[in-house]
Amino acid sequence: DAMVIQNPRYQVTQFGKPVTLSCSQTLNHNVMYWYQQKSSQAPKLLFHYYDKDFNNEADTPDNFQSRRPNTSFCFLDIRSPGLGDAAMYLCATSRDLESYTFGSGTRLTVV
């Protein structure tokens, strides 16, 4: 089945140690998004790629970076994770404004 896959499901990283989360899709959607969701809060858009064009939200910290080497893959890099970065990270894709398809998320714990 066509889908959005996030790896790993659970990630534990040390304070200040760089970590990379990955997302892949078989939908051939041209837009890919990264959201951060903390407990009891709405998912917060960090950035998105429209084809190869990177669009960063104004309030996304510089600590968060993203790479999209091809249509199918997108990575979220956290250069120096802090305790406040512990959250669920959701990847999503879309082709148009009809709907998003979300991955299952990666739960990040910072110790």
Partner 1 sequence: DQQVKQNSPSLSVQEGRISILNCDYTNSMFDYFLWYKKYPAEGPTFLISISSIKDKNEDGRFTVFLNKSAKHLSLHIVPSQPGDSAVYFCAASATNTGNQFYFGTGTSLTVIP
Residues 91 and 20: their CA atoms lie apart, in Å, by 13
Q: Beta strand 106-110 with 10-13: parallel, antiparallel or unpaired? A: parallel
Please work out the total of residues on this chain that contact partner 1, with binding judged by CB under 8 A.
Answer: 27
Does residue 110 belong to the site contacting partner 1 (CB under 8 A)?
no
Residues 24 and 80: their CA atoms lie apart, in Å, by 23
CB 39 within 8 A of CB 109: no
CB 22 within 8 A of CB 103: no
Does residue 100 belong to the site contacting partner 1 (CB under 8 A)?
yes
Residue from 13, 25, 65, 103 that binds partner 1 (CB under 8 A)? 103
Judged by beta carbon, residue 63 or residue 104, the one nearer partner 1 is: 104
Min. distance of Cβ 88 from partner 1 in angstroms? 8
Min. distance of Cβ 98 from partner 1 in angstroms? 7
Report the alpha-carbon angle 111-17-50, nearest 5. Answer: 110
At 84 the three-state DSSP class reads helix
Does residue 42 belong to the site contacting partner 1 (CB under 8 A)?
yes
Residue from 55, 61, 67, 79 that binds partner 1 (CB under 8 A)? 55
Binding residues (CB under 8 A) for partner 1: these are 4, 6, 9, 31, 33, 40-43, 45, 48, 50, 55, 90-92, 94, 97-105, 107
